[in-house]
């Protein structure tokens, strides 16, 4: 691979990342491409003619060349290839004429005045014609100098018109082709050239631009190089006219911009998603807290209600038992009788026929039996205790509805009109057919009357 390097200060090797965009090697030994000046790993060091999408060519040679492994697509390499093809073409054409003319004579080089790099080599000497062409010619030996000057003069005389045309272009006057439009033109020409190469590769076709001057600029640096390839000198004008890695940089920049915009949009979208998720999580958390609170509350209420149910059931059970017990018990409905009802009851009651016994059946027994018998008949009756000074006595009483409270001596069924302070025997009613009641041998003066209903 021939090198056209003019940046001698840049080292040809270094350690770093391969500039080939499909290579992911990092921190490897890199080699500088002489055409594009970028650094590549050993695998991608070789320069290759780039191909446009869809990376297919009808030319089998180009296709095979493209499908070779290794190397990197190199735009400046295109110029080199063009130049080589042109040289071959010229050689083929002049074989029949027996003489090979210098390429500078056939196609005069345009004059480039701007941004010529200074070449520190003091041995390099520019001729007046070189200034017109803008091509520093390096490493020219002294013996060749005269012959070269003569040839240059001839070239000047032969190509006076083209040089003038070129000088007009290179001035960049207002109205002429601007550097930016030139760059665009260059890009278009290169793209057309590559497309052409891919489409029809039987013969190398030089780019045909609508602006011949611009296309001339593309090709001139290559053509105007010193014919002697072994001297490996290149016109400094190529630095200016053909931006190094211009198209790849533009495309890559555009791609990076697109990717960047896409990533920023994706970033914003991700942030928005996160934001919505955070809000949703907060909502869910609140909802869960609320659900937990509700659940706790419901659980507490349920426990309380269950407790209430248990206690109520116990109460109900007790109450039900009590009700059943009360229902099973006897009911006693009493009434205050009429006087005639009392008389009737006493006539029917046979307690008075019992025999008095001072040790086993006394007045208390008579009264108890009449009282209990009366109440068993529903007649409300009272057991009455009469207190005498030394002993006492027991009788019964009824609260009649017509004659009020009436007392009866149950041993004889005799009504007694008892009053405190009276002798009891004097309170007894006279029985028809019987003698009046006699006073007992003890004091029966009534001191107190107690009624037990």
Q: Which residues bind other proteins (CB under 8 A)?
A: 249, 252-253, 256, 259-260, 263-264, 266-267, 270-271, 273-274, 277-278, 280-281, 284-285, 287-288, 291-292, 294-295, 298-299, 301-302, 305-306, 308-309, 312-313, 315-316, 319-320, 322-323, 325-336, 358, 360, 364-365, 367-368, 371-372, 375, 380, 383, 450-453
181 vs 292, which CB is nearer to other proteins?
292
Distance of closest approach, residue 165 Cβ to other proteins, in angstroms: 37
68 vs 327, which CB is nearer to other proteins?
327
Strand 72-73 and strand 47-48: the pairing is parallel
223 vs 382, which CB is nearer to other proteins?
382
Distance of closest approach, residue 265 Cβ to other proteins, in angstroms: 10
Distance of closest approach, residue 367 Cβ to other proteins, in angstroms: 8
Q: How far apart are CA 438 and CA 432, in angstroms?
A: 15
356 vs 452, which CB is nearer to other proteins?
452
How would you class 108 by CB atoms within 10 Å of its CB: exposed for 0-12, middle for 13-18, buried for 19 or more? buried
Whether residue 191 contacts residue 209, with contact meaning beta carbons closer than 8 Å, is answered with no
319 vs 431, which CB is nearer to other proteins?
319
88 vs 323, which CB is nearer to other proteins?
323
CA distances, 326 to each of 230, 318, 321, 334 (Å) = 137, 12, 9, 18
How would you class 368 by CB atoms within 10 Å of its CB: exposed for 0-12, middle for 13-18, buried for 19 or more? middle
Q: How far apart are CA 437 and CA 416, in angstroms?
A: 12
Distance of closest approach, residue 153 Cβ to other proteins, in angstroms: 46
Length of the chain: 453
Distance of closest approach, residue 296 Cβ to other proteins, in angstroms: 10
**Listing from the earlier edge strand, what are the strands of the sheet with 39-40?**
13-16, 28-32, 39-40
Whether residue 384 contacts residue 450, with contact meaning beta carbons closer than 8 Å, is answered with yes
Distance of closest approach, residue 124 Cβ to other proteins, in angstroms: 32
């Amino acid at each position: 691979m021939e090198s056209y390097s003019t940046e001698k200060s840049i080292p040809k090797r270094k350690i770093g990342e391969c500039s080939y965009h499909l290579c992911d090697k990092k921190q490897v030994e890199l080699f500088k491409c002489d055409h594009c000046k970028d650094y590549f790993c050993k695998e991608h060091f070789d320069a290759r003619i780039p191909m446009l999408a869809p990376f297919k060519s009808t030319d089998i040679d180009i296709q095979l060349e493209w499908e070779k492994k290794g190397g990197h697509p190199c735009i400046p390499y295109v110029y080199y290839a063009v130049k080589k093809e042109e040289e071959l073409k010229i050689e083929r054409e002049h074989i029949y004429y027996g003489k090979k003319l210098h390429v500078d004579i056939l196609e005069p080089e345009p004059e480039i005045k701007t941004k010529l790099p200074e070449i520190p080599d003091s041995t390099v000497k520019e001729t007046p014609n070189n200034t017109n062409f803008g091509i520093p010619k390096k490493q020219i030996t002294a013996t060749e100098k005269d012959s070269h000057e003569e040839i240059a003069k001839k070239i000047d005389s032969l190509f006076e018109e083209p040089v003038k045309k070129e000088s007009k272009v290179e001035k960049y006057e207002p109205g002429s082709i601007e550097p930016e439009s030139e760059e665009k033109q260059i890009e278009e020409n290169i793209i057309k050239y590559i497309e052409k190469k891919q489409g029809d590769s039987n013969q190398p076709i030089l780019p045909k631009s609508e602006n011949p001057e611009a296309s001339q600029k593309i090709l001139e640096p290559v053509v105007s190089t010193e014919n002697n390839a072994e001297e490996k000198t290149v016109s400094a004008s190529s630095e200016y006219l053909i931006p190094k890695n211009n198209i790849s940089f533009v495309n890559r920049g555009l791609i990076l911009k697109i990717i960047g915009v896409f990533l920023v949009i994706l970033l914003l979208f991700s942030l928005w998603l996160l934001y919505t998720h955070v809000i949703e999580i907060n909502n869910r958390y609140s909802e869960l807290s609320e659900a937990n609170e509700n659940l706790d509350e419901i659980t507490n209420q349920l426990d309380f209600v269950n407790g209430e149910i248990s206690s109520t059931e116990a109460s109900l059970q007790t109450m039900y038992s009590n009700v059943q017990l009360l229902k099973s018990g006897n009911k006693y409905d009493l009434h205050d009788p009429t006087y005639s009802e009392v008389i009737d009851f006493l006539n029917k009651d046979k307690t008075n026929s019992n025999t008095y016994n001072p040790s086993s059946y006394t007045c208390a027994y008579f009264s108890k039996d009449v009282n209990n018998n009366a109440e068993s008949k529903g007649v409300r009756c009272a057991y009455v205790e009469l207190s005498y000074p030394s002993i006492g006595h027991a009788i019964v009483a009824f609260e009649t509805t017509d004659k009020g409270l009436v007392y009866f001596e149950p041993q004889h069924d005799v009504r007694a009109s008892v009053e405190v302070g009276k002798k009891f025997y004097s309170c007894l009613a006279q029985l028809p057919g019987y003698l009046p009641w006699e006073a007992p041998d003890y004091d029966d003066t009534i001191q107190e009357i107690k009624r037990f209903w």
